Structure 1
């Protein structure tokens, strides 16, 4: 449950859908993220500035790692074929694994640093908003499953 809450916090607060998505997409501009948090949590000016600083630093650290990971993924795809080089594949796959671990660690650290900026009341509001969003997602999934179980309505 704690992992689910953590991942939901990342998705909700930062617009990051996970390491794989971070490697495939650009994150929204940091101003958008801070503005969203401000609207939800009523951040003061110092909190906004600190979060912007944290996001800028994370972007400086993560961007080269994400780019290298994308390049490794592409190169691994190029290895597929009858004349493959097992050593090269294993070496690139190991480096990709290391990078994924580094990106994950930096993402967790970023989330922790951002949450440290919030007051206890703001953390509670964020938790409440996340719980509400999770409930809405669960309700939608339940509704979709119910619709799948119903026979198709004939066209008239």
Structure 2
């Protein structure tokens, strides 16, 4: 699956807005996610329950990793200064990289597990919704570029 399709699928499926780093992703409460999927794909009760279970399990696994990643990011910011400790910076940065990889892997696995719950028809509807969302995003970017290009340059003072 292309990265852009994955990101769009993940954003649509989980309700995650923006292109935040994996360790900064915060999903809305699971009921909202499942309700959104149900509205889009007309899930049956078994599918809803299975997806809720997958989301609950993912939250249990990811929450501590996300908290640790945020703590590491904060600590790395505290290292900035003339009296820096290169070893501590490298050690914390390496751990943050490991956590980011773990979070990314769990997120991809979650996406795959959720998609496995869908029927072929539901996957097709999801693909169509993703394509529509991508087109809307592209249209918005094009519109913003056009507006930016039409504004006269302001002199630097």
TM-score by length of 2: 0.90
Quote how far apart the aligned CAs of 1:113 are.
0.1
CA distance in 2, matches of 1:44, 1:121: 13
- Note closer, same or farther for the CA distance 1:155–1:106 as it changes in structure 2 (3 Å cut): closer
Quote how far apart the aligned CAs of 1:145 are.
1.4
**Conserved? CA contact 1:19–1:103, under 8 Å:** no
Paired residues, number: 156
Structure 1: state its 5+ residue gaps.
Answer: none
TM-score by length of 1: 0.91
Quote how far apart the aligned CAs of 1:144 are.
1.6
**Conserved? CA contact 1:79–1:89, under 8 Å:** yes
Structure 2: state its 5+ residue gaps.
Answer: none
Quote how far apart the aligned CAs of 1:2 are.
1.1
Quote how far apart the aligned CAs of 1:21 are.
4.7
**Conserved? CA contact 1:19–1:104, under 8 Å:** no
- Note closer, same or farther for the CA distance 1:24–1:136 as it changes in structure 2 (3 Å cut): same
Q: Deviations over 1:98-120 (max 9, x none)?
A: 00000000000000000000000
- Note closer, same or farther for the CA distance 1:136–1:154 as it changes in structure 2 (3 Å cut): farther
CA distance in 1, matches of 2:153, 2:3: 37
- Note closer, same or farther for the CA distance 1:19–1:137 as it changes in structure 2 (3 Å cut): closer
Q: Deviations over 1:38-75 (max 9, x none)?
A: 00000000000000000000000000000000000001
